[in-house]
Amino acid sequence: MRYLTAGESHGPQLTTIIEGLPAGMPLTAEDINEQLGRRQKGHGRGRRMQIEKDQAQIKSGIRHGYTLGSPVALVVENNDWKHWTKIMGSEPIDESAAEEVKRQITRPRPGHADLNGGLKYGHRDMRNVLERSSARETTVRVAAGAVAKKLLALLGIEVAAHVLEIGGVKADKVSFESLEELRERSEASPVRCLDEEAEKKMMQAIDDAKANGDSIGGIVEVIAEGMPAGVGSYVQWDRKLDAKLAAAIVSINAFKGVEFGIGFEAAERFGSEVHDEIAWNEAQGYYRKTNRLGGFEGGMTNGMPVVVRGVMKPIPTLYKPLESVDIDTKEPFTASIERSDSCAVPAAAVVAEAVVAWELASAIVDQFYSDRMDALVASVEEFRRYAKEF
């Protein structure tokens, strides 16, 4: 499985083309739009979310509610495009029309792709960089993740996410009995936090940052249950599934770190306090007595829940802009301001959930026969029986 995305933040639409889905998999626009709606929620979101009503349009690869095995094309239109047709249009402009187009952006924002992207592609107008490097692109990554979540659900694999920390406020009371409970409580929270006391403090921290023209980041956690053991590989570095998940997490805009299980805490513990003891019983087969390694050993799933966390830095677009340098005059200026959120951690949890789901689904499709959905289901079930009796 693979997908590409295309589109600019204020262009006419965002597009993704997904290849490698099994034929015969049930999929509707509703499956995707539910996830797109989740991405737009969260305390701290900016005005853009009031403008857009993200809805996916299925353009190919699905007939009468089932995948065909051919590429699936999904489109999400940008409602704000009507205000940007001259600024972001694809057709050449003449001199008279050029005056109506906003000035070039020559003041790169610290923490953004602006300057580096300009250097790489030779763009003197930073809008050519920031329109694509915008987190708006994650809209169709969530759409692709929604497709992956549907595939995983048909295999008995569930994925959910929640927020552990925002702006230094940490959630302590995060216990839950099931992923269903986690999902319900997370969805009910404006910041996707399970700790109601921490939730209030997080919201206040977001409001304070916004009032100060600043932004704050945080930590999200994604959990997947039902993954069969042995998915991934130890034989080559680029086939290790936890490595692919790590790459997926840090590929999300503003994410700067990732950990599995107890993560960096492992550096402070003895080996006897880190590794998970193996046990077996007739009902479960092999299992681990603990899950400190987050469901991975040797680059492969071990049958325990996959637990991965990502660290999101504060959004670099500030209403209290930092100092930068104009690339034309080389004079210092305060950086250009683009419309932004004061905190996007709750929404980023949905994006993280999507990219984790994609990598898990992709790994399963790679490892098992997957031209047909019914055959994939049978293949995974047969492997589960084999692993239990091994």
Q: Residue 212 annotated as binding?
A: no
Q: Residue 302 annotated as binding?
A: no
pLDDT in tens, 344-389: 999 999 999 999 999 999 999 999 999 999 999 999 999 999 999 9
Q: Residue 316 annotated as binding?
A: yes
Q: Residue 290 annotated as binding?
A: no
- Give the start-end residues of each E strand in the chain: 2-6, 13-19, 56-60, 62-63, 66-67, 72-77, 158-166, 169-170, 218-225, 255-260, 278-281, 285-288, 296-297, 300-301, 306-312, 323-325, 332-334
Fold of 2-389: Chorismate synthase, AroC fold (3.60.150)
pLDDT in tens, 318-340: 777 789 999 999 999 876 565 56
Q: Do the strands 66-67 and 218-225 form a parallel or antiparallel pair, or are they unpaired?
A: unpaired
Q: Residue 313 annotated as binding?
A: yes
Distance CA 199, CA 163 (A): 9
Q: Residue 133 annotated as binding?
A: yes
State which H helix or E strand residue 48 sits in.
helix 48-51
Q: Residue 254 annotated as binding?
A: yes
Distance CA 243, CA 124 (A): 36
Place of tokens 């840090």: 250
Q: Rounded mean pLDDT of 150-169? A: 98
Q: Where are the domains of the chain?
A: 2-389
Using alpha carbons, select from 285, 276, 268, 277 the residue that is nearest to residue 307: 276
pLDDT in tens, 239-287: 999 999 999 999 999 999 999 999 999 999 999 999 999 999 999 999 9
Average pLDDT, the chain: 93
Q: Residue 200 annotated as binding?
A: no
At 336, which amino acid appears? S
pLDDT in tens, 53-107: 899 999 999 999 999 999 999 999 999 899 899 889 998 887 666 666 667 889 8
pLDDT in tens, 187-246: 999 999 999 999 999 999 999 998 888 899 999 999 999 999 999 999 999 999 999 999
Q: Residue 71 annotated as binding?
A: no
Q: Residue 329 annotated as binding?
A: no
Q: Residue 292 annotated as binding?
A: no
pTM: 0.94
Neighbours of 56 (CB within 10 A): 25
Number of alpha carbons in the 13 Å side-chain half-sphere of residue 38: 29
DSSP per-residue codes, 301-333? E-SSPEEEEEEEPPPS--SSPPEEE-TTT--EE
Q: Residue 18 annotated as binding?
A: no
CA distances from 312 to 200, 228, 264, 330, 352 (A): 20, 29, 16, 31, 10
Rg for the chain, CA atoms, rounded: 22
